[in-house]
Chain A
């Protein structure tokens, strides 16, 4: 595969277009030639199934050629499919890589039993959620729930294209690349490989919050919040077969008076409702419809819980600052934005202060958190960001959420707010043209001109040269 010429003086951030998922390559000039950092490699199909555009293998091969399969650093922000599935799907390519260092969030550690047990519980919860969602009839919410579960577990309900699972990906990253990952939380000093340190790179870990007792307990409470919906909270799975009463009590709707179903009786103005028939089907339908909504809430909580495990890294190179926030949501952001220890402040009412404010006022590059979803970049954070930086958002339109309930991803008001302050580029505005793969841009818009540096579109990526 053609190798693009690496920058000799500049730092380059490359966003590959893989669909709904993150795959970034940072290249900077080092003492012994260009040094490469990969941040995440994943994609997910999403609710609509449109998220996976089947370009990730092309992108990984391109990256392998570009880096000669040598990485100074690999960062895996969190264990969602749209951030890690590429590792197992492209295992033959990745297993040839030589990697100097791997960073993962503290939540991936294998040395703290309570953390590993917690992650295992989350996986079980996700599976219970899927079972509960599949038990009812499919509706709009069901698809959302299944998409969230698929992203969390890497298990497809119907076998999707490409293969790979989250479990295999984590296994490859942790055990298959010849180097043991370092697990970090805010406040810890990240150990940069010497090649990057000599190149003048500095890194600060901003998230996730350290797993002290309070934060861990909060997560346990959240887990209970999720668990209550799927009967898995207290250690057992829902049997699905619990018969609460003797069979003698089982009857059909005809044992009830027709007035029991009056809510669904046909009505016409000026007349009493017609309660001559039992509208029992309508009642059953109403009960069924109310249930997936509760499951959906649980799925959203589960999703946010994993996103908040994201490793948030601030790079600094020659006075330029680059913020990679993974998929951090509410709690994770607040922790470092408003100062450690006050992780639960309401970001809408507080003013930024101290280190959080200083960081946002000085960034040159921002990887838009969580594909531009609502809540992933707090209003206070956008307000606090300096003007004229560059933002990159890896996304595939029409994959999750909907405009009607203000849940579309990316969230339009957020991107509009970011565009007022930055030069913003989306991955889905880049067409992929490579051997056997041809995916047109789904977001029609020309590349903006940043105040500093420039954008260059490639065969399956867009570069920002700073």
Chain B
């Protein structure tokens, strides 16, 4: 009950028409409103994020530290499925010829709870996790690329709609077909290793690694539809698809924190000491050593994406002949992944050496028990920042790869160039670390004259290229690109009657570490079905790089 004598309660600012019949308060010399204030504007804006629970590694790790993760995914209104603007989860099972009941994430009880709690037996949780991981993977990739991903084709672009079937069939397989993600479920073998019960049902959609891997397939197909199916391109696709979820792990603070503590900061050790400390012979579970979860794709799902045993072996023994000798694309991809991790851990070592030195100078022991929490926290920050830097470099590198055929060494050149455009100084030394990690694994570009950063960066385009008028670009800029190609026939090496294939322009916008806004535009122009150029423009429409398909790409296939 409001006391008549109390001053009125202002819930909104007074409006011009709020003064009807008002008198001035003699004490305050302000108008006294007789009628309650009217609400103004729209109701409160929707939230920015929606929190959803997922398994970080998979159900077999249970509630182990960091395994149950809350992902904050961009908020959107969701219909049952969940079905949103760009992602739709439709739980159709081909083996059982049925649909499973869709989850309604907008349901009040679920929303207030931060999403459903993890459960293997509840398809609603599976649908929630599939949606959350796809949404989060897409967000991070788009952040790295500096744009909203659209499905490109020479005819134009369209909005990328991802359709997810979390239980498409009873099979050990998970695969994509165009922008559809199909995850299978299967009965574990009777001799299944690790924490899986023999004969239990394993759901591939409950692995962030599997789903993140599939999202990468879909996105790469959307942004680079020009890439054909060859050993090199498969290698790149698989490597990037493994790197994407693996690098995510390093931003999961809880799990990184635990790993740092159990490895005394040496996070690239493949084995973690037991939570009860290191002993020569374990007597209880807490003393058992365990695999470093940051380094391995989840065991029980590895098979679903053709991977058995993760990347650890490749990381342990760099071999300069292994890559060239390997023909199986998964095995080649594992070597590329190991190279990126090698570089990443080298930077981690360099950037944290001073912290360890300070710690030791203060009497701290790194071979002893847990590292102090503030130090572990600082190390976590470093790991996350370094992982994000490499993640961004790899994805932006994709924009800087030649069309049709991308040997891994060209991908390295793309990454080096993209990172240079991002931060010319390279204060962390990431480019040199990456180059050396690739070199010791025998991945060196044949097209560069020297193995130096300057030589590996794609050369700056000659000044005689015409300019793409950026003033009035249409959506896909196809008419403008056509005019550009017509004016660049000489530079592109086109005959007078050539009809090249032109892919729509894509934009990358980001802020460099120097706080400078950067925009680059890129396209692929195929002069023949197997060759062409990726052309990168700066914000003023000047050609920055013209990256041709490597010469021997057209004859890459061993057979007829």
Stretch at the interface among B174-182, B269-277, B310-318, B432-440: B174-182
When the two chains form their complex, are residues B172 and A255 in contact, meaning their CB atoms are under 8 A apart?
A: no
When the two chains form their complex, are residues A257 and B101 in contact, meaning their CB atoms are under 8 A apart?
A: no
When the two chains form their complex, are residues A342 and B83 in contact, meaning their CB atoms are under 8 A apart?
A: no
B391: min CB distance to chain A, Å: 27
Residue from A250, A346, A414 in contact with B231 in the complex, judged by beta carbons closer than 8 Å:
A346
Q: Which partner residue on chain A sits nearest B305 by CB separation?
A: A228
Question: Which chain B positions have C-beta within 8 A of A286?
Answer: 177, 180
When the two chains form their complex, are residues B99 and A251 in contact, meaning their CB atoms are under 8 A apart?
A: yes
CA distance A315 to B173 in the complex (A): 45
Question: Which chain A positions have C-beta within 8 A of B123?
Answer: 244-245, 249
B102 in the interface, Cβ–Cβ < 8 Å?
yes
When the two chains form their complex, are residues A234 and B188 in contact, meaning their CB atoms are under 8 A apart?
A: yes
B265 in the interface, Cβ–Cβ < 8 Å?
no
Interface residues on B, range: 35 or more
B328 in the interface, Cβ–Cβ < 8 Å?
yes
A246 in the interface, Cβ–Cβ < 8 Å?
yes
When the two chains form their complex, are residues B121 and A245 in contact, meaning their CB atoms are under 8 A apart?
A: yes
Residue from B121, B303, B558 in contact with A246 in the complex, judged by beta carbons closer than 8 Å:
B121
Q: Which partner residue on chain A sits nearest B557 by CB separation?
A: A348
When the two chains form their complex, are residues B171 and A229 in contact, meaning their CB atoms are under 8 A apart?
A: yes
A274 in the interface, Cβ–Cβ < 8 Å?
no
Known: A224-B303, A233-B172, A234-B189. A243 touches B96 (CB 8 A): yes
A283: min CB distance to chain B, Å: 6
Residue from A234, A260, A330, A417 in contact with B558 in the complex, judged by beta carbons closer than 8 Å:
A330
Residue from B161, B170, B188, B556 in contact with A240 in the complex, judged by beta carbons closer than 8 Å:
B170
B150: min CB distance to chain A, Å: 15
- Residues B284-338 near A (CB distance < 8 A): 303-304, 306, 308, 324-328, 331
Known: A242-B201, A257-B81. A347 touches B558 (CB 8 A): yes
Question: Which chain A positions have C-beta within 8 A of B6?
Answer: none
Stretch at the interface among A91-99, A104-112, A377-385: A377-385
CA distance A246 to B173 in the complex (A): 22
B335: min CB distance to chain A, Å: 13
A411 in the interface, Cβ–Cβ < 8 Å?
yes
Residue from B168, B170, B190, B327 in contact with A239 in the complex, judged by beta carbons closer than 8 Å:
B170
Can you list, as one digit per residue, whether each of A329-360 has a CB less than 8 Å from chain B (1) or not (0)? 01100000000001011111100000000000
Interface centre among B97, B303, B559 (most CB of A within 10 A): B559
A258: min CB distance to chain B, Å: 9
- Residues B473-518 near A (CB distance < 8 A): none
A165: min CB distance to chain B, Å: 29
Stretch at the interface among B8-16, B41-49, B85-93, B134-142: B85-93
B441 in the interface, Cβ–Cβ < 8 Å?
no
When the two chains form their complex, are residues B552 and A349 in contact, meaning their CB atoms are under 8 A apart?
A: yes
Question: Which chain A positions have C-beta within 8 A of B303?
Answer: 224, 228, 233-234
Interface residues on A, range: 35 or more
Question: Which chain B positions have C-beta within 8 A of A248?
Answer: 101
Known: A375-B560, A414-B560. A238 touches B94 (CB 8 A): no
When the two chains form their complex, are residues A244 and B185 in contact, meaning their CB atoms are under 8 A apart?
A: yes
A263 in the interface, Cβ–Cβ < 8 Å?
yes
A274: min CB distance to chain B, Å: 16
When the two chains form their complex, are residues A250 and B83 in contact, meaning their CB atoms are under 8 A apart?
A: no
Q: Which partner residue on chain A sits nearest B176 by CB separation?
A: A290
Q: Which partner residue on chain A sits nearest B177 by CB separation?
A: A290
Residue from B80, B165, B180, B560 in contact with A411 in the complex, judged by beta carbons closer than 8 Å:
B560
When the two chains form their complex, are residues A244 and B203 in contact, meaning their CB atoms are under 8 A apart?
A: yes
Known: A244-B93, A374-B559, A380-B558. A344 touches B185 (CB 8 A): no
Question: Which chain A positions have C-beta within 8 A of B171?
Answer: 228-231, 238
CA distance A231 to B96 in the complex (A): 16
B249 in the interface, Cβ–Cβ < 8 Å?
no
When the two chains form their complex, are residues B326 and A379 in contact, meaning their CB atoms are under 8 A apart?
A: no
B61 in the interface, Cβ–Cβ < 8 Å?
no
B428 in the interface, Cβ–Cβ < 8 Å?
no
CA distance A303 to B479 in the complex (A): 47
B361 in the interface, Cβ–Cβ < 8 Å?
no
Known: A377-B560, A379-B560. A287 touches B99 (CB 8 A): no
Q: Which partner residue on chain B sits nearest A297 by CB separation?
A: B175
CA distance A251 to B79 in the complex (A): 16
When the two chains form their complex, are residues B191 and A234 in contact, meaning their CB atoms are under 8 A apart?
A: yes
Known: A225-B306, A245-B100, A293-B177. A263 touches B556 (CB 8 A): no
B169 in the interface, Cβ–Cβ < 8 Å?
yes
When the two chains form their complex, are residues A231 and B172 in contact, meaning their CB atoms are under 8 A apart?
A: yes
A294 in the interface, Cβ–Cβ < 8 Å?
yes
B456 in the interface, Cβ–Cβ < 8 Å?
no
Residue from A235, A250, A261 in contact with B191 in the complex, judged by beta carbons closer than 8 Å:
A235
Interface centre among A249, A376, A414 (most CB of B within 10 A): A249
CA distance A410 to B327 in the complex (A): 25
A291: min CB distance to chain B, Å: 6
Question: Which chain A positions have C-beta within 8 A of B190?
Answer: 235-236
CA distance A299 to B83 in the complex (A): 35
Question: Which chain A positions have C-beta within 8 A of B219?
Answer: none
Can you list, as one digit per residue, whether each of A198-213 has a CB less than 8 Å from chain B (1) or not (0)? 0000000000000000
A259 in the interface, Cβ–Cβ < 8 Å?
yes
CA distance A224 to B331 in the complex (A): 13
A266: min CB distance to chain B, Å: 16
A250: min CB distance to chain B, Å: 5
Can you list, as one digit per residue, whether each of A412-449 has a CB less than 8 Å from chain B (1) or not (0)? 01100100000000000000000000000000000000
Question: Which chain A positions have C-beta within 8 A of B81?
Answer: 256-257, 260
Residue from A218, A257, A414 in contact with B79 in the complex, judged by beta carbons closer than 8 Å:
A257
CA distance A253 to B324 in the complex (A): 50
When the two chains form their complex, are residues B83 and A256 in contact, meaning their CB atoms are under 8 A apart?
A: yes
Q: Which partner residue on chain A sits nearest B327 by CB separation?
A: A344
B85: min CB distance to chain A, Å: 9
Question: Which chain A positions have C-beta within 8 A of B169?
Answer: 287, 291
When the two chains form their complex, are residues B92 and A283 in contact, meaning their CB atoms are under 8 A apart?
A: yes
CA distance A321 to B262 in the complex (A): 65
Question: Which chain B positions have C-beta within 8 A of A139?
Answer: none
A140 in the interface, Cβ–Cβ < 8 Å?
no
Known: A255-B80, A290-B182. A284 touches B94 (CB 8 A): yes
Question: Which chain B positions have C-beta within 8 A of A255?
Answer: 80, 99, 101-102
CA distance A261 to B163 in the complex (A): 9
Residue from B92, B98, B191, B325 in contact with A345 in the complex, judged by beta carbons closer than 8 Å:
B325
Known: A235-B191, A377-B560, A413-B560. A259 touches B555 (CB 8 A): no
B187 in the interface, Cβ–Cβ < 8 Å?
yes
When the two chains form their complex, are residues A294 and B308 in contact, meaning their CB atoms are under 8 A apart?
A: no
Known: A253-B99, A379-B555. A260 touches B83 (CB 8 A): yes
Q: Which partner residue on chain B sits nearest A222 by CB separation?
A: B328
When the two chains form their complex, are residues B79 and A290 in contact, meaning their CB atoms are under 8 A apart?
A: no
A68 in the interface, Cβ–Cβ < 8 Å?
no
B53 in the interface, Cβ–Cβ < 8 Å?
no
A188 in the interface, Cβ–Cβ < 8 Å?
no
CA distance A344 to B231 in the complex (A): 13
- Residues A271-299 near B (CB distance < 8 A): 280, 283-284, 286-288, 290-291, 293-294
6 sample A-B contacts, Cβ–Cβ < 8 Å, listed by A number: A224-B308, A227-B172, A229-B173, A344-B327, A348-B556, A377-B559
Interface residues of B (CB under 8 A from A): 79-81, 83, 88, 90, 92-102, 121-123, 161, 163, 165, 167-173, 175, 177, 180, 182, 185-192, 201, 203, 231, 303-304, 306, 308, 324-328, 331, 552, 555-560
Interface residues of A (CB under 8 A from B): 136, 218, 221-222, 224-225, 227-231, 233-236, 238-240, 242-246, 248-253, 255-257, 259-263, 280, 283-284, 286-288, 290-291, 293-294, 330-331, 342, 344-349, 374-380, 411, 413-414, 417
Given contact pairs A233-B189, A245-B122, A257-B79, a sample of 16 additional A-B residue pairs in the complex whose CB atoms are under 8 Å apart: A225-B306, A228-B304, A234-B189, A235-B190, A235-B191, A238-B171, A238-B186, A239-B170, A252-B98, A256-B99, A280-B92, A283-B90, A287-B94, A290-B180, A342-B325, A379-B558
Return the 8 tightest CB-CB contacts between A and B, nearest first.
Answer: A234-B189, A375-B559, A414-B560, A290-B177, A257-B79, A347-B558, A344-B327, A413-B560
